[in-house]
Structure 1
Amino acid sequence: MANILIVTCAKIRDINCVACLKCFKAADLKEGEFANYDSVKIVAMCGCGDCPGLVMPKVGLVMEMADYLERDIDTIHLGTCMVKANKTAACSIDLDKVKEMLSSKYGVPVVVGTHNY
């Protein structure tokens, strides 16, 4: 089972997808980027830290708390809302750079996107 952390866009998360229902649906149905797993469990969600992009310290706090609570995180997904913010809302976060930095720091795969809705 893949234990997933989803990082969401603090600005448009509840505008693009109220209550992250699309991410939960895609995970349950193994659609979108979740189709690559045998089974999926979303163990954590957090915002990106808001603009100008405090993703690294925000995810750092989540990873520390997950370790404290003995909750393994196997993969980090940068939510589709982050992709949409980057493409349509002038978000300045370089998603490929953030993907590389997170993967390097935490030693887990990082996937850009969650669903296609």
Structure 2
Amino acid sequence: MARIAVLYCKRIQDHSCIACAKCYKGMAEKNGEYARHDTIELVAMTDCGDCPGLTVPRVKLLNEITKGLDRPIEVLHLGTCVKLAMETAQCPIDFEELKPTLESKFGFQVVLGTHSY
């Protein structure tokens, strides 16, 4: 079972999807990047920390909270809304730079994307 957390885009999340409904559907159907997991335990969902570039401190807090609740993150997904923001809305996240930073600092896998819709 993969213990996952999802970071969604604070600025566009409720414009492209209300209440992360697409993520919940994608998890249930193993759609998109969720397909890599046999089973999923969602341990947390939160926003990216907002622009410009507050993702690392946000993930640090998220990691501390989930460990303190004895529900450590194994895989962090950056939501499809984050991917969309990087492609079309001038999001300051550089995934190629952020991924190794988060993986080495926190020890979990980082995946870009969640569902395909």
> Which residue in the other structure is 2:37 paired with?
37
Segments of 5+ residues of structure 1 without an aligned counterpart are none
SS of 1:103's equivalent?
helix
Shift of 1:18: 0.7
User: Distance between the aligned counterparts of 2:101 and 2:116, measured in 1?
Assistant: 25
Q: Tell me the percent identity.
A: 48
Segments of 5+ residues of structure 2 without an aligned counterpart are none
- Cα contact 1:46–1:59 (8 A) shared by 2: no
> Which residue in the other structure is 1:105 paired with?
105
- Give the residue type in structure 2 aligned to 1:3: R
* Number of residue-to-residue matches in the alignment: 117
Aligned residue runs from structure 1 range 8-47, under 5 A:
8-47=8-47
TM-score, with length taken from structure 1: 0.96
> Which residue in the other structure is 1:62 paired with?
62
The two structures, once aligned, show a CA RMSD in angstroms of 0.8
User: Distance between the aligned counterparts of 2:50 and 2:108, measured in 1?
Assistant: 23
Write out the 4+ residue segments of structure 1 that deviate beyond 4 Å after TM superposition: none
User: Distance between the aligned counterparts of 2:101 and 2:57, measured in 1?
Assistant: 12
